[in-house]
Amino acid sequence: MSSPQEQHIATYREEAGELLAELETSLLELEDNPQDNDLINRVFRAMHTIKGSGAMFGFDDIARFTHEVETVFDQVRNGKMQVTRCLLDLTLQARDQITTMLEASAGGPPADETNGQRIIDGLQQLLPHVTKLKAEPAVATPAVQSSEADASRTYRIRFKPLPEIMLSGTNPVSLLNELRDLGACEVMAHLDAIPSLDQLTPEHCYFYWDIVLTTTRGTEAIKDVFIFVEDDCDLKIDLIDDGTAPDADASYKKLGDILVERGDLSPVEMQKILSMQKRFGEILVEQGLVPASKVQSALLEQQQVKQARQERTTAAPAAAEAALSIRVPAERLDHLVNLVGELVTVQAHLTQIAGNRHDNEISAVAEEVERLISELRDTTLNMRMLPIGSTFSKFKRLVRDLSAELGKEIDLETTGADTELDKTVIEKLNDPLVHLIRNSIDHGVEMPEVRKAAGKPSKGVVHLAAEHSGDSVLVTIRDDGAGLDKERIRAKAIERGLITASAELTDKEIYNLIFAPGFSTAQKVTSVSGRGVGMDVVKKAIEALRGTIDIASEQGKGSIITLRIPLTLAIIETLLVRIDQSYFVLPLSMVEECIELTRDDVQATHGRHLAHVRGELTPYINLRDEFEITANQPDIEQIVILSVNGKRIGFVVDDVVGEHQTVIKTLGKLYRDVRGISGATILGDGTVALILDPGLLVQSVAMMEQEQFG
């Protein structure tokens, strides 16, 4: 079991990763809306939280580096700098550097310190006035002194952390040190909340503090110090001197006025004390109205209670909202899905036993168990669902950087970012999408001058969309570029021996040639493309997800690549079929219909594996032959007709058992390369059924026929 400190560090890494993702998204949005103060504040808060939490958990290198970036955006936030392309470039590079440093702390390759220093130097060059002030001696002109004096303000701060604050890894002393960095600072600790020894919890914090701070940074800078503990403390900040009083006027409010203003003393009590003609502080102590330790800073007790109640009222909705969601490690969800899968198998066994015994009472229980497990399955799978927008947001950076590298002008547009997919599917979909978007940018969208000559806008568009379609999700990558050159693809395929010169192919068949291993029409090798590595990898990755890929293109207008991906990889609805004593399952989403196949039907087509279905010839594959099952063949077989890559293909089996809820089990290494089989499942009676991959099965049969007949 890991220690609490290790758990805090792991939590920081996870939260920092989320903040870095948010930071990248905010920076890219800021590029389109450089005057948006909300975006500027989001960027600043993300960096400030990464820095502050990093310092608390021992990530001092990250805290120091992030502080430099934060300093620049503090100037932007205060209106002293403008958001420029150069600033965003450097900040995005800084974000990548922090990511590398974070990965290095978890055992990854070390971060390049030279690169980090280069980024810092670049950021500091954007602050010539700040650098100059640092380099100059402390002697300044009267005008500068006056300006700085006018900007200085004094604040009274009451910081009262919750006792449990240190259990989350927060060190209040670090926050006080951050306040000292803002200007002249006086800190007074209060000890009256410390309980007796028998009631004291060593891990709790019983101190609270009053701070008087004179700074030029303003209220927002003070709030930013407490930004990541604002829900774990009572905090009050009051401006007590706005810096406008004449320098010669050193007078300030009397002690009684301060205490009344703070709510620690009533006006009636103050008048009563004043009438005694003694020193005000002495009388307070003598009368026991205010403890001696609080004469100077006990002002806040009355206001502090009011402030705490206000914060509790404000925080109540936020706390209620936070209670609606919790953070759960992914491996726990995976384990839960595995257990639900086992329950599905047990439930199928129970249903089979109930059917065999013809016992109404057992059958009723089996039906109820089936209903509950079905609900449990759906709920569990929904817990793993994430919006695909978490992946979409990463590609905006990819398009930005790659288009700049290639000298092109390209925007990325997205729709359907809230479409949900299983987290495992999203993770495995990332790399194929990267390949496809890179291809759209490199091969699809033309250079600005070429687009203008063709009557197009100089700036191209890559559109990324997602939508639900039954038990699948359609992900579409569309560009408005040059489209695919069919003749060029055909010529390249002939050159490589993929097709003969006399081959007659449809447009779709020509487009599918680009998925051949090593196929590339690029005329030169670049850092982006030209090596023939990519599209075949994409196809294999999509097929590994039990998905399909389709290409449509119109020369001069652009291309559309459509991916059909299953919602989940854990449990699927299937059609259970049988050949002799062997069972197989086919994805139910691909099944269109089932028809009979008689001996007369086979003889009528002279063994050409074609079936007449409502006036159309439909090719079919006899699974008995493919799996070399030699048992007696029934007089009447069944053809299950599926839609495979847009074509109707039949699969001949002995019998169609019915719909089946299939828990997918991966095959061992020995069977990993068997084409046409994507996994296995266990039926209720313990029998193993193979899960067929229709697309790969069709390809396998086509390859065998090509080898046989040349």
- Element housing 450 (H / E): helix 448-453
Where residue 151 falls among pLDDT bands split at 50, 70, 90? low
Share of the chain above pLDDT 70, in %: 83
> How many other C-beta atoms can be found within 10 angstroms of the C-beta atom of residue 623?
22
- Check residue 307 and give its pLDDT: 47
- Check residue 452 and give its pLDDT: 92
Q: Tally the C-alpha atoms within 13 A of residue 243's C-alpha that lie toward its C-beta.
A: 16
Where residue 447 falls among pLDDT bands split at 50, 70, 90? very high
Tell me how far the alpha carbon of residue 473 is from its chain's centroid: 18
CB 294 within 8 A of CB 329: no
CB 158 within 8 A of CB 235: yes
| 201, pLDDT greater than 80 | yes
Sorted by where each starts, the structural domains of the chain and their CATH numbers stand as 4-136 (1.20.120.160), 147-322 (3.30.70.1110), 330-384 (1.10.287), 386-566 (3.30.565.10), 571-709 (2.30.30.40)
Q: Indicate the range of 125-139, 158-172, 529-543, 544-558 predicted with least confidence.
A: 125-139
* Residues near 288 by beta carbon (within 8 Å), at least 6 away in sequence: none
Q: Indicate the range of 152-161, 282-291, 419-428, 523-532 predicted with least confidence.
A: 523-532
Where residue 311 falls among pLDDT bands split at 50, 70, 90? very low
**Average pLDDT of the residues in 144-159:** 62
- Check residue 300 and give its pLDDT: 44
What is the full DSSP assignment across 45-112? Answer: HHHHHHHHHHHHTT-HHHHHHHHHHHHHHHHHHTTSS---HHHHHHHHHHHHHHHHHHHHHTTSPPP-
- Check residue 149 and give its pLDDT: 37
Strand order in the sheet with 655-663: 655-663, 571-579, 582-587, 688-692, 677-682
Q: Which residues pair with 278 in a beta bridge?
A: none
Q: Which amino acid is at 86?
A: C
> How many other C-beta atoms can be found within 10 angstroms of the C-beta atom of residue 279?
12
Share of the chain above pLDDT 90, in %: 16
SS3 assignment, position 181:
coil
- Residue 67 to residue 59: CA distance in whole angstroms: 12
- Residue 243 to residue 478: CA distance in whole angstroms: 59
Q: Indicate the range of 90-104, 235-249, 634-648, 665-679 predicted with least confidence.
A: 235-249
> What 8-state DSSP symbol labels residue 665?
B
Q: Which residues pair with 154 in a beta bridge?
A: 214, 241
pLDDT tens across 513-548, in order? 888 877 776 555 454 554 444 688 888 888 888 788
Q: Indicate the range of 39-48, 133-142, 268-277, 685-694 predicted with least confidence.
A: 133-142
* Residues near 136 by beta carbon (within 8 Å), at least 6 away in sequence: none
**Average pLDDT of the residues in 384-398:** 84
Tell me how far the alpha carbon of residue 103 is from its chain's centroid: 17
| 144, pLDDT greater than 60 | no
**Average pLDDT of the residues in 88-97:** 92
**Average pLDDT of the residues in 186-207:** 87
pLDDT, mean over the chain = 80
CB 388 within 8 A of CB 419: yes
The string over 332-344, giving b where at least 16 C-beta atoms fall within 10 Å of a residue's C-beta and e elsewhere, is ebeebbeebbebb
Where residue 135 falls among pLDDT bands split at 50, 70, 90? very low
Q: Indicate the range of 186-200, 297-311, 340-354, 367-381 predicted with least confidence.
A: 297-311
Among 259, 252, 266, which residue's Cα sits nearest to residue 299?
A: 259
Tell me how far the alpha carbon of residue 165 is from its chain's centroid: 28
> How many other C-beta atoms can be found within 10 angstroms of the C-beta atom of residue 63?
19
| 322, pLDDT greater than 70 | no
Where residue 297 falls among pLDDT bands split at 50, 70, 90? low
- Residue 207 to residue 233: CA distance in whole angstroms: 12
**Average pLDDT of the residues in 664-669:** 75
pLDDT tens across 544-601, in order? 887 888 899 998 899 999 998 887 777 778 899 999 989 999 988 889 999 998 888 8
**Average pLDDT of the residues in 26-39:** 88
Q: Which residues pair with 424 in a beta bridge?
A: none
- Count of helix runs (H) and strand runs (E) in the chain: 24, 21
Among 701, 704, 699, 334, which residue's Cα sits nearest to residue 540?
A: 699
Among 576, 544, 578, 542, which residue's Cα sits nearest to residue 562?
A: 542
Where residue 141 falls among pLDDT bands split at 50, 70, 90? very low
The two structure tokens encoding residue 185: 């600072």
The string over 412-425, giving b where at least 16 C-beta atoms fall within 10 Å of a residue's C-beta and e elsewhere, is bebebeebbbbbbb
pLDDT tens across 248-279, in order? 444 566 667 777 776 667 777 777 776 665 65
pLDDT tens across 616-657, in order? 888 999 998 888 888 888 889 999 999 887 788 999 999 999
- Check residue 301 and give its pLDDT: 42
